[in-house]
Amino acid sequence: MLGTEAAAKKKIQTAASDLGFDLCRFTDGRPPRSAHHFQSWLAKGYQAEMGYLARHSEKRCEPSLVLPEILSIITLATSYHTENSQEGLERCDRDRGRGVVARYARFRDYHDVLAEKLKALTRIVTRSLDEESQALWYVDTGPILERDLAQRSGIGFVGKHTNLISRQLGNWFFLSEILTTLRFPPDEPENNRCGKCQRCLEACPTDALPKPFELNARRCISYLTIELKGSIPVSLRPLIGARIFGCDDCLAICPWNRFAKEGRLMKAHALDRSNLEDLESWTRITPEDFRAKFRETPFYRTKWRGLLRNVCVALGNVGDVTSLPSLERLRTQSEPMVAEHAVWAIAQIEARARAPGQPD
């Protein structure tokens, strides 16, 4: 039977590669070792307003509550690294009029892209050994501690920034999983390879990493610009800079990125750069424009008002007096949360204009 299971595993890995996944590894269905760390993290309130993490905490700590009789978990990695990624980031940094977006947001929504591939691979899994078997697939959506499981399967290791790092893919990849009642030979786990490096902690603009392997989401720019639905704390707004969707600083500084290879699957789903306008253009986006342009992209998660809120903060940090008419329009014509951030941005720009050494 072991030989049959090994052969089926090999077949699944080949199919995963053919479908575009960059890595495919296997582990068993035991509870994740990090369960107690996760519960401690929740107790500190570091999940902020992401209440869904606490609501399903018992399932995240026990995979058999998600899929009874689970025996194996297949973990998959899909790279979104492109050869010109760094060039694009540097160009945004040089052009003070453009907003900075996280690398993963420069593609069609990965949930949609990977879902089709996961469905196809799951059909192959269920037919590999037993037609009566059960399987569930997830792409960043299921109540499981996927980074712990991915480390246990050998995909990569959890870095001090709390994200997964792969020796083959660096930091630029998506995780997805297939839970199954079939048994497959597990792969060897990956060991942590951060060593003494703390570059990610030092790079965080908002000190959202209070210590290695612990993230305080309440201070994380990715949380503040994407998950947070209300007002961004005033004390943190100046630290966001020109970022309007997410933040890659802790990922980008990691030395393991020198081994990152370009992804095959996501490359075909890169967004048209014309969808990523300069900050001034963002201020003119209507709710209808937003829905038409971003319905199938990661930006849709912020909703229209969340995106304009972020644009106001970015302009408050890097804009000049030429931005004031647009911000004044948002102050008077937009909904209350956007107006509040527009007022803040106007005050920031006016204060800089009055500062000594500034032109009249």
| Residues with catalytic function | 140
The span from the CA of 76 to the CA of 178, in Å, is: 8
Written as six digits, the tokens of 226 are 């994407």
Contact assessment for residue 163 and residue 171, using Cβ atoms and an 8 Å cutoff: yes
Instruction: Name the CA radius of gyration of the chain, rounded.
Output: 22
Q: What are phi and psi of 211, to 5 degrees?
A: -160, 165
